């Protein structure tokens, strides 16, 4: 009976894990090559990064861009301080707003990483500071000047991250209303504001210019036509106003609840409490000076949160997707921090009214601000200290170093794609290999733009498509089998995995494990398990402990890939034994190779991925069926039961957990019977 349960388990080990990866390497590579980054292009960040790469004479390319992001984050903090101070006159309130936001885990992490979020934080602070400056302006001339500068900055902010458009709309409508109420909004002034806004969008001219020059070895899209530019600008390849295309995400309610919980965790419970104080004080004193600012910022926070919760179509129950979504909550956290700073100033103002400007209250105000900021630093420093974090760099270096000379690497996924591209193009590592992006080959622009930068590679058409032929627009397509055939003079590797939509390669090729990647080998080549185990046993030099990284981080993804690579060859050999049409002797040899390999790996690593327990247990059970004289059946049964139980302890969410437990129960009974039988034999022998 237990065998039926074990047979159900055979399907488990064939399940593959699919993960998405980060964008940092791609942004740096686009800047270094003066290419175009992923939609919507981020021209301002690309140009700033290129400037810093050229001006700073020290550190790696990645270090220089990370440093730029750190400086932008510091500038964003100063603008939050300025906003609170100008509105309330409170130095402590400004310090509180800048400190709790900047030293929150999320802001800190993304201010020292080559990403667009620190620049977006800078624009959030800048737009709020300019709005306050506009409110304080004493003359119509001054308001006119500030509104023009603000219009330009609004346009410029949209050259980075498009989520800021919601803040831009709120601020633009508010400024226009103020100008209209003061009878300062003429048609001529409105036209000038529009021109200033368009001037801010000028960095977007970089996209068609870069695409036209066609010099970058890595770029995204073809912006030489208006339609191509619009496709990129509106993120149509991802889904306009969405985080992912055709992805079922969490509900709006779940997203909002998670955001509130996240805000309390990131900024401490005190920050939203102080923000509420600012709202209450403003509501009770409707005629309070500058109260319209607080309502404007509150409206910005609410509108952004509601819209983002509606359009963020990712499942945040998955840690990695939560890591993607939470980055966009920084924009609302910045406003919440400003409101908290104003709330602290409001409390002190009320206290001063009651106690008549008590010095004690000023001390309490400063101590409160200092305590909150210090607690943020204390709580997050160890998490955000990235001075010794080279995980993704080591991941990419291991992958590139493992490749034979002049290999083709068919990239799939953001982590291997972007990290390998960075090392290959920016650091000049392994110039002999060629990187070809599987996903990009399905886009009509990829080969016309990139083929000339991939020397030695032949493309039997203009676009990759599983069904070969000529599309209605005249484009000649090719499949993966045809691509491999015309490039058979080079060894080809898939990192990580192949596109499931095209299985034509199976006609003439097999996938053999090569660490985290797979080698495409001619089907006529005979597989030698012993030789392949020896070849791939030490393919990587990986020393990171398993499970030491936050599950929502790219480091965790890289670490998981490298750990699973250790077991990949054993898994492949076991799968061959299960599925290949070979003789019983060959099957027995394959099972034995897989078992010995599993055993060696399991015994070499105390802490490892939970699925290793399951795979090893099934391998032991298969060895038990072979009745080999050189392996003790009691040991095999004991190991099977032990590792099945260890697996069920750690994999509580496995839908087949009940079957595994049932199998383990029956195997345990057999083990007890076997031990009793062995004991009786020994007694009789004596």
pTM above 0.75, yes or no: yes
Average pLDDT over residues 428-434: 95
Average pLDDT over residues 672-677: 80
pLDDT tens for 109-122 read 999 999 999 999 99
Residue among 503, 517, 325 at smallest CA distance from 415: 517
Average pLDDT over residues 616-626: 89
Average pLDDT over residues 463-473: 89
* Statement: residue 215 has pLDDT above 70: yes
| Cβ-based burial of 657 (10 A; exposed 0-12, middle 13-18, buried ≥19) | middle
pLDDT band at 1 (very low <50, low <70, confident <90, very high): very low
pLDDT tens for 168-207 read 999 999 999 999 998 999 999 999 999 999 999 999 999 9
pLDDT tens for 148-158 read 999 999 999 99
Give all strands of the β-sheet with 509-514 in edge-to-edge order.
434-437, 408-411, 492-495, 517-522, 509-514
Average pLDDT over residues 77-96: 95
The answer to whether the CB of 116 falls within 8 A of the CB of 45 is yes
Backbone angles phi, psi at 514, to 5 degrees: -140, 75
The rounded distance, in Å, linking the Cα atoms of 476 and 574 is 40
Average pLDDT over residues 588-604: 92
pLDDT band at 316 (very low <50, low <70, confident <90, very high): confident
* Statement: residue 407 has pLDDT above 70: yes
pLDDT tens for 542-582 read 999 998 888 888 899 999 999 999 999 999 999 999 887 88
Average pLDDT over residues 54-65: 91
DSSP assignment string, 136-187: H--SHHHHHHHHHHHHHHHHHHTTT-GGGHHHHHHHHHHHHHHHHHTT---H
285 SS3 class: coil
222 dihedral zone (left: phi>0; alpha: psi -120 to 50; beta): beta
pLDDT of residue 685: 67
How confident is the prediction for the chain on average, in pLDDT?
89
* Statement: residue 628 has pLDDT above 60: yes
pLDDT band at 4 (very low <50, low <70, confident <90, very high): very low
pLDDT tens for 363-401 read 888 999 999 999 999 999 988 888 888 999 999 999 999
The rounded distance, in Å, linking the Cα atoms of 117 and 582 is 55
Residue among 259, 225, 269, 252 at smallest CA distance from 309: 252
pLDDT tens for 497-546 read 898 889 999 999 999 999 999 999 999 999 999 999 999 988 999 999 99
The two most distant CA atoms of the chain are separated, in Å, by 112
> CA angle, corner 42, sides to 36 and 43, nearest 5?
70
């Amino acid at each position: 009976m237990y065998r039926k349960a074990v047979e159900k388990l055979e399907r488990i080990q064939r399940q593959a894990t699919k993960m998405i990866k980060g964008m940092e390497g791609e942004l740096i590579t686009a800047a270094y090559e003066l290419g175009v980054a992923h939609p919507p292009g981020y021209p301002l960040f690309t140009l700033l990064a290129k400037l810093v790469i050229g001006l700073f004479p020290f550190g790696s390319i990645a270090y220089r861009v990370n440093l730029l992001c750190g400086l932008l984050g510091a500038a964003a903090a100063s603008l939050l301080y300025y906003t609170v101070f100008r509105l309330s006159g409170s130095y402590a309130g400004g310090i509180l707003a800048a400190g709790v936001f900047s030293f929150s885990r999320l802001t800190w992490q993304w201010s020292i990483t080559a990403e667009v979020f620190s620049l977006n934080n800078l624009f959030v602070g800048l737009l709020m500071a300019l709005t306050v400056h506009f409110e304080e302006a004493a003359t119509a001339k001054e308001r006119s000047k500030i509104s023009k500068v603000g219009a330009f900055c609004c346009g410029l902010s949209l050259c980075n991250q498009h989520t800021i458009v919601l803040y831009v709309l709120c601020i633009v409508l508010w400024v226009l209303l103020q100008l209209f109420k003061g009878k300062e909004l003429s048609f001529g002034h409105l036209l000038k504001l529009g021109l200033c806004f368009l001037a801010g969008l000028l960095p977007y001219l970089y996209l068609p210019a870069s695409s036209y020059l066609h010099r970058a070895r890595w770029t995204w899209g073809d912006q030489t036509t208006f339609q191509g530019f619009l496709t990129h600008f509106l993120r149509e390849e991802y889904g306009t106003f969405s985080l992912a295309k055709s992805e079922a995400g969490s509900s709006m309610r779940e997203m909002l609840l998670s955001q509130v919980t996240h805000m309390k965790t990131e900024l401490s419970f005190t920050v939203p409490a102080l923000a509420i104080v600012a709202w209450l004080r403003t509501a009770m004193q409707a005629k309070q000076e500058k109260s319209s600012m607080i309502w404007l910022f509150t409206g910005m926070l609410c509108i952004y949160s509601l819209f983002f919760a509606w359009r963020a179509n990712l499942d945040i129950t998955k840690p990695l997707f939560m890591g993607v979504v939470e980055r966009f909550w920084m924009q609302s956290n910045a406003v919440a921090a400003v409101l908290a700073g104003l709330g602290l100033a409001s409390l002190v103002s009320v206290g001063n009214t009651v106690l008549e400007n008590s010095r004690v209250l000023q001390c309490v105000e400063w101590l409160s601000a200092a305590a909150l900021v210090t607690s943020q630093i204390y709580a997050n420093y160890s998490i955000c200290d990235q001075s010794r974090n080279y995980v993704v760099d080591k991941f990419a270096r291991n992958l590139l170093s493992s490749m034979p000379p002049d290999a083709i690497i068919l990239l799939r996924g953001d982590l291997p794609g972007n990290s390998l591209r960075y090392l290959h193009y920016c650091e000049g590592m392994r110039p002999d290999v060629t990187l070809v992006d599987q996903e990009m080959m399905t886009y009509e622009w990829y080969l016309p733009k990139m083929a000339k930068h991939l020397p030695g590679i032949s493309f039997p058409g203009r676009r990759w498509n599983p069904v070969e032929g000529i599309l209605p627009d005249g484009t000649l397509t090719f499949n993966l089998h045809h691509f491999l055939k015309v490039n058979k003079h080079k060894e080809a590797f898939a990192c990580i995995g192949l596109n499931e939509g095209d299985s034509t390669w199976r006609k003439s090729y097999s996938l053999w494990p090569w660490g985290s990647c797979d080698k495409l080998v001619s089907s006529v080549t005979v597989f030698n398990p012993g030789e392949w185990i020896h070849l791939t046993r030490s393919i990587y030099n990986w020393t990171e402990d398993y499970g030491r990284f936050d599950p929502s981080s790219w480091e965790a993804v890289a670490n998981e890939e490298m750990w699973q690579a250790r077991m990949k060859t054993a898994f492949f050999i076991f799968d061959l034994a299960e599925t290949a049409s070979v003789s019983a002797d060959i099957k027995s040899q394959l099972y034995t190779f897989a078992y010995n390999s599993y055993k060696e790996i399991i015994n070499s690593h105390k802490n490892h991925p939970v699925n290793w327990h399951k795979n090893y247990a099934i391998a032991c059970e298969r060895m038990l069926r072979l009745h080999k004289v050189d392996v003790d059946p009691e040991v095999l049964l004991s190991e099977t039961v032990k590792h099945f139980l260890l697996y069920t302890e750690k994999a509580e969410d496995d839908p087949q957990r009940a079957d595994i437990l049932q199998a383990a129960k029956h195997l345990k009974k057999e083990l007890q019977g076997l031990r009793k039988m062995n004991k009786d034999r020994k007694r009789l022998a004596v």
